[in-house]
Amino acid sequence: MDLTTKVDVDEGKSLARVSLIGALNTDTAPGFETRLREVVAKGLQLTVLDMKDLDYISSAGLRVIFKAAKEVKSAGHRLAAANRKPHIDKVFEILKALPDMAVFANDEEMDDYLDSMQEQVKGS
């Protein structure tokens, strides 16, 4: 019931991928919050929480994500989730958590979103 967090930052694309591996629960949430705040503080356009290897999330973990989503949104940036497992999806659904957060079912959807973001930047 541990959590490993890996962060990959692409400054050029103003993108961070935060991979969660294991369980996000009451004990692991504080450490994850610290890492996530460090990433959010970079002021990147998009931060993606990659949940491909996330096996468990409790309300404690969701609270950390809620807080980060508020901070990111108030800065005019976006927080998204990707590759959620079905039982993780279920927790989000039950709690109707963050209906305005972008959710990518897989990396292809995320890449398409990034491409469209790049097009918008070029066009502006």
Partner 1 sequence: MAIYTDGIDEAFNAHGEQFGIERFNRFLAASPHSNLAELGTRAYQAIDQHAGDTPQSDDITLMLMALPTAAAGGNGWEQREEHSVSLRDEPGVVSEFLRWLKSRLAAHSEIADIEAELLLVAEEVFTNILKYGNMPADGKVEVSLRVSDRETELCFSDPGKAFDPLKESQQSTLGLDSESAAIGGLGVHLLTALTDRQEYQRRDGRNILRLCKSYKPGSNKE
CA–CA gap between residue 107 and residue 46 (Å, rounded)? 14
Could you tell me the two tokens for 114? 């990034």
Contacts of 117 (CB under 8 A, 6+ apart): 45, 46
Q: Which is nearer to partner 1, 52 or 119 (CB)?
A: 52
Could you tell me the two tokens for 60? 């404690």
52 touches partner 1 by CB under 8 A: no
SS3 label, residue 91 = helix
Binding segment for partner 1 (CB under 8 A), chosen from 6-14, 21-29, 33-41, 113-121, is: 21-29
26 touches partner 1 by CB under 8 A: yes
39 touches partner 1 by CB under 8 A: no
Select the residue interacting with partner 1 from 11, 74, 76, 122 (CB under 8 A).
Answer: 74
